[in-house]
Structure 1
Amino acid sequence: MSRQPGRRTLQDLASAAGLSLAATSYALRGLRGSPATIQRVRELADELGYTVDPIARALASGRTGWVGVSGSLRDLWQQDFSVLLTRALRREGRFATIADADADPELERRIVEQFAAQRVDGALVSPVDPTASYWQLLGDEVTVVSIGDALTARAGSGSVLFDNEFGVRAALAHLADLGHQRVGLLAPALPSTPGRPAQLLAPTIAGTLGIELVAISAPAATADAIDVVSSLLAARDRPTGVFCLSDSLAFAVYRAARDAGLRIPEDLSVIGYDDHQLAVLVEPGLTTMAWDEDAIVAAAVEQLESPGGAPLFRPELVVRGSTGVPHQSY
């Protein structure tokens, strides 16, 4: 079959395939139909020179097919999670435009403005500042789903929430049960807002467990956090354990401990908060809190179509070799 002059339409493709318009559209996007039908329709599209006009499709349907995905991508878990979101969207016939907020509220504001300008159909966001008013820049026609923390300033937004109180308590209780009385809390350097509960809940929970908590903030990226952790470990009254609110920060503790000549867990226990895929590759394996990522992704994508509710996900403590009984007291 040779290409014909002029722009080919979906009807041209459907006629050539002997299918309805709907069946042709689904097959072209790989959403429905047998593998043989999908392959045949795509081959016919190439032969005809048929290409989708995204502007025409958006005007006809009122939808662009694009979904904004935003998070702080220097965090290793956020990187992997963004990939999972884009794959889930692709299975639904949607496309992701990914933006890195880099733990910066001002940059996040500009990303929100860009999403609005691009007229995305929806947004899946792991917010830097969940209380910021700039989330209102995305109009009511845009379905916004916040992952981890609720957007308190944008009514009607979907939410997939994390049971941070359970996670923080489980992690600190594990250290307390091992005999740790002075523990460092390493948190990403993000805005302290009412929507950021893990960091705010930790001191109260530590007090109920008889733990003296030394809270410090560090850059979200592993390499940038090493100097901050090194200062904590160089103190004469350094903690015997460190609880990190991301695995990226926990990996920084590994490096800083090695540079200081400290052994994990003999001299320093370390616990993370993500169960990133590298947690089983470091030596010793990282004790951390694991989230059901597949279920979280499914819940977030589902809310793009059916907003409502705020499913709460509870992490599981995964004990590996990075935590143990403290051998020294200060």
Structure 2
Amino acid sequence: MSGRRTLQDLADAAGLSLAATSYALRGVRGSPATIARVRQIAEDLGYTVDPIARALASGRTGSVGVSGSLRDLWQQDFSVLLTRALRRQGRYATIADADADPAQERLIVEQFAAQRVDGALVSPVDPTADYWRLLGPDVAVVAIGDALTTRPGSGSVLFDNRYGVQTALAHLAGLGHHRVGLLAPALPSTPGRPAQVLAASVAAALGIELVEISAPAATADAVEVAAALLAGDTRPTAVLCLSDSLAFAVYRAARDAGLRLPDDLSVVGYDDHQLAALVDPGLTTMAWDEDAIVEAAISQLAGAVDDVPTFRPELIVRGSTSPPRPTLSAGGLG
């Protein structure tokens, strides 16, 4: 046979009626053996569900919008994990890049609404924005990382950013760092991201002078910002980056400035991206249980759970942090 396989082709191969084949393919009716057999035959035939036909028949599109800032390396990998999990459920992902920009994120929300997606899995740039209300109550929405405070009824998979920031800064304070840079992947128009807000109070409690600066999400674009942070005699002795992408930008800026890691500068990331163990020195960072987060988000989307899971990161210490190098006083060694 040539051309696109139809449901009738699948039904003929399985020896079932169209209705029984459709039910088995979707797993809503039939014995486990029949469901498994029909799905195997579908795979052997190369049969795929026509999303337009399914939408006309059911009033649903079967598609889920996935939104994040995809120039961030961890967000890229995480979006892939989400789409794979959706594919295993027979659902289709529409991936959109918010590019750490609330204006772009609003356009994406409008696009999702126009496409009549059944649901949305979003890593919000601005979780407090009013535009999240554009997704009607019939759309299942799950926010990952930060809750959507302006859209009641949205699901949430939360990150314990207080614990993450506290742990990272306490690690630096314990090594003896008192002036620490904070590099955050946020624009001036989105200063309310919880991790960034929490950092100031946590640093004050630890006796750390925090130098906060925002940067583009992409590593290459953030190098210039990181270089400005490291310029001058009053530069921080350590930098906490709220994404590993930004930490890699600091690596590049430090190298260009002739600074050695960790002798001249300690760096901490916030994702444990797969590259964190491959750079030299290895990046000290906060690691998240990505598989568990994906499972929780998909379960929330399906309405399988009502609770709001909160995940804590784990500090992974590698070679990018050490005590600051002692500086000589004006009078020398004395």
Q: TM-score, normalised to structure 2's length?
A: 0.89
CA contact (8 A) 2:67 2:124 kept: yes
CA contact 1:27–1:41 (8 Å) conserved in 2: no
CA distance 1:105–1:233, shift in 2 (3 Å): same
Residues 1:230 and 2:231 aligned together: no
Pick from 65, 74, 79 the counterpart of residue 76 of structure 2.
79
Q: Amino acid of the residue matched to residue 41 of structure 2?
A: R
Aligned residue type for 1:326: P
- Tell me, yes or no, if the aligned pair for 2:25 and 2:38 is still in contact at 8 Å: no
* Distance in 2 (alpha carbons) for counterparts of 1:26 and 1:246: 44
Instruction: Tell me which of 274, 277, 298 is aligned to 1:301.
Output: 298
What is the aligned partner in structure 2 of residue 109 from structure 1?
106
Single out whichever of 68-77 and 58-67 deviates more from structure 2: 58-67
Residues 220 and 12 of structure 1: CA distance in aligned 2, closer, same or farther (over 3 Å): closer
Tell me what 2:267 maps to. 270
| Structure 2 alignment gaps of length 5 or more | 329-334
Paired residues of 1:17 and 1:41 also in contact (CA < 8 A): no
Paired with 1:175 and 1:312, the residues of 2 have a C-alpha distance of 25
8 Å Cα contact 2:172/2:238 also seen in 1: yes
Check if 1:40 corresponds to 2:41: yes
What amino acid sits opposite 1:317 in the alignment?
A: L
| CA deviation vs aligned residue, 1:130-158 (integer Å, no higher than 9, x gap) | 11111111111100000011111111000
In the alignment, what sits opposite 2:205? 208
Q: Which amino acid aligns with 1:161?
A: L
Q: Which residue matches 1:149? A: 146
1:315 to 304, 310, 313: 313
Cα displacement string for residues 175-234 of structure 1 (whole angstroms, at most 9, x for unaligned residues):
00001111111111334354x111001111111111111111111111111111111111
Native 8 Å contact 2:13 2:41 kept in 1: no
Give the direction of change, closer, same or farther, for the CA distance of 1:189–1:41 in structure 2 (3 Å limit): closer
Aligned twin of 2:134: 137
One-letter identity of the residue aligned with 1:115: F
The residue aligned with 1:122 is 119
Alpha-carbon distance, 1:19 to partner: 3.5
d(CA) in 2 for partners of 1:283, 1:88: 33
Q: Is the 1:265–1:321 Cα contact (8 Å) retained in structure 2?
A: yes
TM-score, normalisation: structure 1: 0.90
Q: Indicate conservation of the 8 Å contact 2:177/2:323, yes or no.
A: yes
Instruction: Report the CA distance between 1:64 and its aligned residue.
Output: 1.1
Partner of 2:93: 96
- One-letter amino acid of the structure 1 residue matched with residue 279 of structure 2: V
Q: Distance in 2 between matches of 1:290 and 1:52?
A: 37
Secondary structure (helix, strand or coil) at the match of 2:202 reads helix
Secondary structure in structure 1 of the residue aligned to 2:182 = strand
Cα 1:187/1:53, change in 2 over 3 Å = closer
Query: Which residue of the partner structure matches residue 174 of structure 1?
Result: 171
| Aligned partners of 2:143 and 2:156 also within 8 Å | yes
What count of residue pairs does the alignment treat as equivalent?
Answer: 322
Q: 1:25 offset after TM fit, Å?
A: 3.8
SS in 2 for 1:238: coil
Name whichever of 304-313 and 52-61 sits farther off. 52-61
Deviations 1:59-106 (A, max 9, x none): 322321100000111111100000000000001111100000111111
1:278 is paired with a residue whose SS is helix
Runs of 4+ in structure 1 off by over 6 angstroms are 29-32
* CA–CA separation in structure 1 for the residues paired with 2:86 and 2:67: 14
Write the distance in 2 (CA, Å) between the matches of 1:121 and 1:278: 34
CA distance, structure 1, for counterparts of residue 279 and residue 50 of structure 2: 48
- CA shift, 1:309, in A, is 2.6
List gaps (5 residues or longer) in structure 1. none
Inter-CA distance 128–36: structure 2 relative to 1 (3 Å threshold): same
Are residues 1:59 and 2:56 paired? yes
Give the aligned residue type for 2:218: A
Quick check: 1:103–1:128 contact (8 Å CA) kept in 2?
Answer: yes
Task: Please point out which of 237, 242, 245 is paired with 2:239.
Answer: 242
Task: Tell me, in whole angstroms, the C-alpha distance in 1 between the residues paired with 2:317 and 2:150.
Answer: 37
